[in-house]
Amino acid sequence: MASPFPGMNPYLENSAFWSEVHNRLIVNLADFLAPQIPPQYRVAIEQRTYLSDESDSVLLGIPDVSVFSQQKNTKPTASTATYPDTSEAVTVTMPVPEPIKESYLEIREVATSYVVTVIEIISPKNKRAGEGRKAYERKRKKVLTTTAHLVEIDLLRGGKPMVFLGEVPLSDYRIVVSRGDCRPLAQLYGFSVRDVIPSFGLPLQSEDLEPLVDLQTLLNGVYERARYNLAIDYNQEPVPPLSEKDAVWADRLLRETGHRNN
């Protein structure tokens, strides 16, 4: 069954689905591009690996529990603090670093292994403070100092958007095409949850014809093949929630298409 939304389905942003959506979309995009680009190039699926910091750590074991010995019937004076008996242990929770792997695409020249274009699909960890954002920002800066093109796809409303110089129009989602020969200028496609995801030309080397990337069709294919219609409860609100006006619009859309109970 097709997605009921004309563009990005906000229910796919939920952490319960996003990791799978991200991986499927990366593979789908790679398979789409392979026959579209000249034979001197190949599409490589790469991975960025880092350890999450305390803000993203996995909590193992039982929830926080403080274990104290029973206090004697002694009254502490105003200047005396009460501490647990030193013979008793206090249970604490350790921040355990979690290995994180984020996939992205590189268009490479086969003969030289030269990276022509980098395609990134932003993850939630890239949009909140922590090692995930730091790792992506390091990668972004590194690409922007080369002649490689950068395509940055942000299909997440939550978190802090990537940094640009000057004022950038507000939008739910963004696709940025930064051409190596046009920096610091870049093309930004901003769109809302009500809009069809805009198509864009994939930059290659100057003499090459740019394939048109129809991300909307690719995402629709991911939705249908993964059968997300069976996993999503459209009677619930999406996570993160929509704005008040968009929530009213989505409610009407979902009822009209039979995805939400009337």
CA quadruple 120, 124, 129, 135: dihedral sign: negative
| Per-residue model confidence as pLDDT tens digits over 135-148 | 999 999 999 999 99
Instruction: Report the Cα–Cα distance between both ends of the chain, in Å, rounded.
Output: 20
Distance, in Å, from the CA atom of 83 to the CA atom of 58, rounded to the nearest integer, reads 29
Q: For 55, what's the count of Cα atoms within 13 Å in the CB-facing half-sphere?
A: 11
pTM here is 0.83
Q: Which stretches of 68-214 are DSSP H helices?
A: 131-144
Distance, in Å, from the CA atom of 160 to the CA atom of 134, rounded to the nearest integer, reads 13
> In sequence order, which residues have a C-beta less than 8 Å from that of residue 160 and are 6 or more positions away?
127, 128, 129, 133
Q: Which stretches of the chain are DSSP H helices?
A: 15-33, 131-144, 215-226, 244-256
Q: Is the pLDDT of residue 118 over 90?
A: yes
| Per-residue model confidence as pLDDT tens digits over 188-209 | 999 999 999 999 999 999 899 9
DSSP type of residue 58: B
> Which residue, among 155, 150, 146, 199, has the nearest Cα to 173 in the 3D structure?
155
pLDDT tier at 59, thresholds 50, 70, 90: very low
CB atoms within 10 A of CB 112: 9
Task: Tokens for 54, please give them.
Answer: 């305390």
CA quadruple 139, 142, 144, 150: dihedral sign: negative
pLDDT tier at 60, thresholds 50, 70, 90: very low
Residue 40, pLDDT score: 95
Largest CA distance in the chain: 86
Cβ burial, residue 256 (10 Å; 0-12/13-18/19+): exposed
| Per-residue model confidence as pLDDT tens digits over 147-169 | 999 999 999 999 999 999 988 99
Residue 52, pLDDT score: 77
pLDDT tier at 88, thresholds 50, 70, 90: confident
